[in-house]
C-alpha cells in the first residue's frame, strides 16, 4: 500500500465515501508516514473551509466553492522558483568545473604527445627504451578520452551518471597504487596531479548528477523504500 492509495482513501473517508481499505491499516500508515499526515491535515482544513463557505449562505442555494487556484499557485510558485534557482546554480558551477578539468586533461595529453615525439626522435639517434614513446602516447590517449568524456557530459547531462563509475573506479585504483608508491617513497609529482585531477572529476560528476536530476531520483527512491506495505491481516 503506497502513499497514493492511502491519500485517495483518506480523501474518500473525509467525503463520507467507502475507502476500500481497512481503517486500522490507514491509521497505522498515518502513524508512520509524515507526508500522508500532512496531506490529511491540509485536506481536512480545505474541507472545513469549503463547509464554512457553504454554511455561511442562509439560503444554501447558488453557492459556488471558492476558487483556490490562485492561493495554491501562490504557495507553490515561490518554492518551485527556489528549487529551479538552486538547480541552475548547481548545474552551472558543475559544468564550469567539468570544462576546467577537461582542459587540464587536454593540455596534459598534448604535453605527453609532444614528449612522445621528442623521445621517438631521440631513440632513432641513440640507444633508448623503445617502449617509452609508446607509453607516453597511450597516456596522452587516456587523457584525451577523459577530456572528451567530461565535455560530452557537459553537453548531455543525462550521461553523467554513466561516466561516474568510470572516473570513480579510475580514481580508486590509482589511489591504491599511489598509496603503495607513497609507502615505498617512489611517488612523483605527476602521480599526485593525476590523483587530484581524476578525483576532482569524479566528485564534480557526482555533484553534477545530483544537481541535475539525482536528488529527485533519490527522493522518489526513498519514498518507495519507506512506504509501509499493508499487511495481509489488515484485509480480513
Per-residue pLDDT of 87-135, as tens digits, reads: 888 889 999 999 999 999 999 999 988 887 776 655 555 555 667 778 8
- What residue ranges in 149-217 does DSSP mark as E strands? none
My answer on whether 194 and 96 are in the same domain is: yes
d(CA 216, CA 157): 15
Q: Is pLDDT of 234 > 50?
A: no
My answer on whether 144 and 181 are in the same domain is: yes
pLDDT on residue 37: 75
Distance of CA 225 to the CA centre of its chain: 17
Q: Which domain holds residue 60?
A: 3-66
My answer on whether 123 and 201 are in the same domain is: yes
My answer on whether 118 and 26 are in the same domain is: no
My answer on whether 197 and 107 are in the same domain is: yes
Asked if residue 122 belongs to a domain, the reply is yes
- Residue 158 DSSP class: G
Asked if residue 230 belongs to a domain, the reply is no
Confidence of residue 221 (pLDDT cuts 50, 70, 90): low
My answer on whether 38 and 99 are in the same domain is: no
- Using CB atoms within 10 Å of the CB of residue 21, give its burial: 0 to 12 exposed, 13 to 18 middle, 19+ buried: buried
Q: Is pLDDT of 4 > 50?
A: yes
Give 59-71 pLDDT, tens digit per residue.
445 556 565 556 6
pLDDT on residue 147: 96
204 and 97 Cβ atoms separated by less than 8 Å: yes
Q: Is pLDDT of 161 > 80?
A: yes
Query: What does the pLDDT average to over 183-209?
Result: 91
d(CA 7, CA 24): 15
Q: How many domains does the chain have?
A: 2
Rg of the chain in Å (alpha carbons) = 30
b/e burial code for range 149-169 (CB count within 10 A of at least 16 → b): bbbebbeebeebbebbeebbe
My answer on whether 43 and 93 are in the same domain is: no
Asked if residue 231 belongs to a domain, the reply is no
24 contacts: CB under 8 Å, gap ≥ 6? 234
My answer on whether 131 and 27 are in the same domain is: no
pLDDT on residue 51: 63
Distance of CA 102 to the CA centre of its chain: 21
Query: What does the pLDDT average to over 15-29?
Result: 73
My answer on whether 121 and 213 are in the same domain is: yes
Asked if residue 96 belongs to a domain, the reply is yes
d(CA 197, CA 128): 30
Amino acid at each position: 500500500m503506497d502513499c497514493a492509495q492511502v491519500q485517495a482513501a483518506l480523501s474518500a473517508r473525509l467525503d463520507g465515501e467507502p475507502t476500500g481499505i481497512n481503517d486500522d491499516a490507514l491509521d497505522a500508515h498515518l502513524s508512520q508516514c509524515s507526508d500522508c499526515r500532512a496531506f490529511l491535515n491540509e485536506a481536512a482544513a480545505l474541507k472545513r473551509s469549503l463547509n464554512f463557505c457553504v454554511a455561511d449562505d442562509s439560503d444554501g442555494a447558488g453557492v459556488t466553492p471558492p476558487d483556490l487556484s490562485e492561493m495554491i499557485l501562490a504557495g507553490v510558485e515561490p518554492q518551485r522558483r527556489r528549487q529551479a534557482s538552486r538547480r541552475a546554480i548547481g548545474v552551472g558551477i558543475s559544468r564550469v568545473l567539468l570544462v576546467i578539468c577537461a582542459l587540464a586533461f587536454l593540455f596534459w595529453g598534448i604535453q605527453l604527445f609532444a614528449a612522445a615525439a621528442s623521445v621517438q626522435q631521440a631513440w632513432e639517434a641513440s640507444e633508448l627504451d623503445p617502449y617509452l614513446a609508446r607509453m607516453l602516447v597511450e597516456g596522452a590517449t587516456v587523457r584525451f578520452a577523459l577530456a572528451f568524456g567530461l565535455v560530452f557530459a557537459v553537453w548531455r547531462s543525462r550521461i553523467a551518471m554513466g561516466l561516474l563509475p568510470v572516473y570513480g573506479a579510475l580514481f580508486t585504483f590509482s589511489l591504491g597504487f599511489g598509496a603503495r608508491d607513497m609507502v615505498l617513497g617512489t611517488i612523483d609529482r605527476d602521480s599526485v596531479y593525476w590523483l587530484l585531477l581524476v578525483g576532482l572529476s569524479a566528485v564534480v560528476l557526482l555533484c553534477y548528477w545530483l544537481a541535475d536530476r539525482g536528488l529527485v531520483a533519490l527522493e522518489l527512491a526513498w519514498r518507495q523504500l519507506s512506504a509501509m506495505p499493508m499487511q495481509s491481516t489488515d484485509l480480513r
